[in-house]
Amino acid sequence: MNVGPSAGNAVNPTAFRGTLGLALAMGMGRFFYTPVLPLMVAALHWSTTPGAWIATANYVGYFFGCLVIARGWVDPDRVTYRVALVASTLCLFAVPVSESLAWQGVVRTLAGVASGLIFVSITGHIPFVARRPLDSGVVYAGVGTGILISGAIVLAASSVLDWRGLWLVCAVISTVFTLIAWNWPLPARNEGDSQPAQTTPPHAQPTDTPVTPTRRRALASLTAGHFFQGAGYIIIGTYLVVLAEPVFGESAAASTWIVAGAATAVSPLIWSNVAARIGTRRGLALCYSLQVGGAVLAVFSTNPILLFVSAILFGGTFIGVVMMVIGVGTQMGISAAAAKLMTWYSLGQIAGPALVAIALSETIIGSFIAAAILLALGMGLTLFGALSGTTEK
């Protein structure tokens, strides 16, 4: 699809629509739960367990939303995308309706499905609308933009609104973003030139080369590593503000989420430049090392400065890891490597909160120790796969 000639340094309005689409689907539809969770725990007298199971339900929904498109059961067309935009916003409005855990679980599951549908619909079409390489980073920055906004809502309004009011504010902003993101260019339903979901442009798709035993083992190591990455990062992403609450207080703890969001927003541009300069494998090793270091630092973060550094390392690395792992999988020349990697990544996001709910519900520090261990395992397996399965160019 041709969206017009290059416009130099002018803002690409199509990319901006994608930015807001990912902001409402991911940063708000999925991750607004993180900064508002301490307020809900205090108001509803929850332990860590209910919050962990509700988070798990959301990640199950997200996995299902991605899966139905990956398996071809639903097409990432204009109708699917727009229905998901509306559903994501309606789910934000629905959260305050009832305190029932069953209600919360159902709503957050549906929100996860909508987020998955939006994410795949947008990212799968980036190669067809980007005027220049920068546009891809602009679109992916929507995740961090939404995270930043979600933290800002809680930090700015929690002194005058309870948790219900905060969800409604988020829903209103999501409504505005829905209107702007509405015309993200996708084929109409049953349109003949419908494009399948993909995460890289056609010229970058891997060729169908013979899969040697070495490459098969390397891909297995990458997928296992990406599973542990998903499990470890999502524990931090869900409970970072809860960890910060004793240091900052219930409301001000959201400032760590704002910092994480700002780091996430710029990270796609940073890590794409790093990988271009030093190579994908070296960039991946550096990014992963910083992420593991941030997780370890969080365990010992008893003052604001350390918590902010940990938030920066978390927000500034998790998208970078995903981008570069998919890049390594593509370099291997294995068909559908990206789809396999993201499937296991999504499964890890389900397993992480479930582990907290089952075994670590009484210790937030224990949850972060588990996250650091999971990320370290992910780093080891991922780098082994990258080193054994690719040749740096």
Check residue 173 and give its pLDDT: 95
Task: Give tens-digit pLDDT for 200-216.
Answer: 444 444 444 556 777 77
Tell me how far CA of residue 321 lies from CA of 16, 106, 206, 390, in angstroms. Answer: 23, 31, 19, 16
Q: What is the mean pLDDT of residues 156-178?
A: 92
Binning pLDDT at 50, 70 and 90, where does residue 132 land? low
Check residue 122 and give its pLDDT: 85
Global pTM? 0.77
Percent of the chain with pLDDT over 70: 85
Most confident of 72-76, 113-117, 216-220, 238-242: 113-117
pLDDT at position 287 over 90:
yes
3-class state of residue 290 by DSSP: helix
Q: Choose between 186 and 48: higher pLDDT.
A: 186
Task: Give tens-digit pLDDT for 17-43.
Answer: 988 999 999 889 888 888 888 888 888
Q: Which of 184, 172, 54, 33 is nearest to 119 (CA)?
A: 184
Q: Which of 318, 217, 304, 207 is nearest to 261 (CA)?
A: 318
Find tokens 């290059």 and name the residue. 6
Binning pLDDT at 50, 70 and 90, where does residue 251 land? low
Alpha helices in the chain (DSSP H): 13-22, 33-44, 48-70, 78-94, 101-123, 126-129, 133-157, 163-181, 213-248, 254-278, 280-299, 304-315, 318-331, 337-359, 364-389
Q: DSSP letter string over 202-271?
A: GGGSPP-----HHHHHHHHHHHHHHHHHHHHHHHHHHHHHHHHHHHH-TTTTHHHHHHHHHHHHHHHHHH
Distant-in-sequence, close-in-space partners of 349: CB < 8 Å, separation ≥ 6? 59, 62, 63, 230, 231, 234
Token pair recorded at residue 234: 């999502």
Q: DSSP letter string over 169-183?
A: HHHHHHHHHHHHHTT
pLDDT at position 176 over 90:
yes
pLDDT at position 190 over 60:
yes
DSSP structural state of residue 195? P
Percent of the chain with pLDDT over 90: 25
3-class state of residue 333 by DSSP: coil
Q: What is the mean pLDDT of residues 70-78?
A: 82
Q: What is the mean pLDDT of residues 266-289?
A: 88
**What is the chain's mean pLDDT, rounded?**
81
Q: What is the mean pLDDT of residues 90-116?
A: 92
Token pair recorded at residue 191: 């349109």
Find tokens 């699917």 and name the residue. 80
Binning pLDDT at 50, 70 and 90, where does residue 67 land? confident
Token pair recorded at residue 1: 């699809």
3-class state of residue 70 by DSSP: helix
Binning pLDDT at 50, 70 and 90, where does residue 374 land? very high
Binning pLDDT at 50, 70 and 90, where does residue 393 land? very low
Tell me how far CA of residue 156 lies from CA of 29, 162, 253, 264, 356, in angstroms. Answer: 19, 12, 12, 20, 29
pLDDT at position 127 over 60:
yes
Binning pLDDT at 50, 70 and 90, where does residue 129 land? confident
Q: What is the mean pLDDT of residues 94-117?
A: 91
Most confident of 51-55, 97-101, 133-137: 97-101
